[in-house]
Structure 1
């Protein structure tokens, strides 16, 4: 079964942001990632995978592309790439790092609790994995 998307809320410099990544499916083969603050789109990235649609392991490749694109948007936010747009000329914006709304209880993927949701596992991976 194909993953249709990832959604995560992240607090960055005291403000809530939402990152959403979706696959539009084989009929419209592209992945879209959006970064929101209060319902306003701050940034977007769209990647087509039309050129690889006939590969055998398409589902896994698309899921990996989605994870990487989602993780990249989170990294860009944490790297202050959007700060000029977000905070204007406020050079004194708080310097708190991006943190998940619900911090992961465990940093190791091998010790995940079986009751942890897939979203929680992915969020933990996205935030702790800097590869």
Structure 2
């Protein structure tokens, strides 16, 4: 698996976080996710199976495709692709290149016909380099407000110059709550953020906060 890219792109009054990762030789895909405000706005996947069919395969070939895809998405953002989404394109966008079950879930959520998971913070995330970072969140269903038990919570440190690092993980308790803490590194190159994600059969949600220097 090759080190990915993480880039914050400011366009208009929004900041888009673009993350591109190699899924590995066992799943030869390059995936790019676009985040706004900690939520996934769009995703793109491309295959490099053709490279595996012509050995020997150089990692530089995969890196080149990752770089090309990452730059293409950034170019789309700067060209205004996500400035506005016309209502008649919502269905087309939901069924673009995502897996079918994920596309159906996202489309139903846009239409308000499915009660999906949402991640709720007890207090704002305030990560700082060299300090103890505490996270307290609750997973619940967005419409019924029922707690989601046993949802998987993952906390990662992402950087514009380094591969994302897993910090802590666990599952929500019977009340749908998760709490944990971890010592953040004293420094790290690039623009850094802590991403808290939560996943279960009821859906996926995540929140993000920029890491500040003390």
Q: Fold-level match, TM-score > 0.5?
A: yes
TM-score by length of 2: 0.38
Once the two structures are TM-superposed, the CA of residue 62 in structure 1 deviates from its matched residue by 0.4
Once the two structures are TM-superposed, the CA of residue 58 in structure 1 deviates from its matched residue by 2.9
How many positions carry a matched residue from both structures?
90
Task: Give the whole-Å Cα distance in 2 for the aligned partners of 1:6 and 1:16.
Answer: 16
User: Which entry has the higher C-alpha Rg, 1 or 2?
Assistant: 2
Name 1:50's counterpart in structure 2.
49
Please, which runs of 5 or more residues in structure 1 have no aligned partner?
87-117, 124-131
Task: Give the whole-Å Cα distance in 1 for the aligned partners of 2:16 and 2:10.
Answer: 6
> Normalized per residue, which structure has more strand?
2
Q: Cα RMSD between the aligned structures? A: 2.5
Name 1:23's counterpart in structure 2.
22
Task: Give the whole-Å Cα distance in 2 for the aligned partners of 1:13 and 1:62.
Answer: 32
> Normalized per residue, which structure has more helix?
1
Runs of 4+ more than 6 Å apart: none
Task: Give the whole-Å Cα distance in 2 for the aligned partners of 1:3 and 1:14.
Answer: 32
Name 2:161's counterpart in structure 1.
119
Task: Give the whole-Å Cα distance in 2 for the aligned partners of 1:51 and 1:73.
Answer: 22
Which secondary structure does the structure 2 equivalent of 1:67 belong to? helix
Aligned partners of 2:33 and 2:44 also within 8 Å = yes
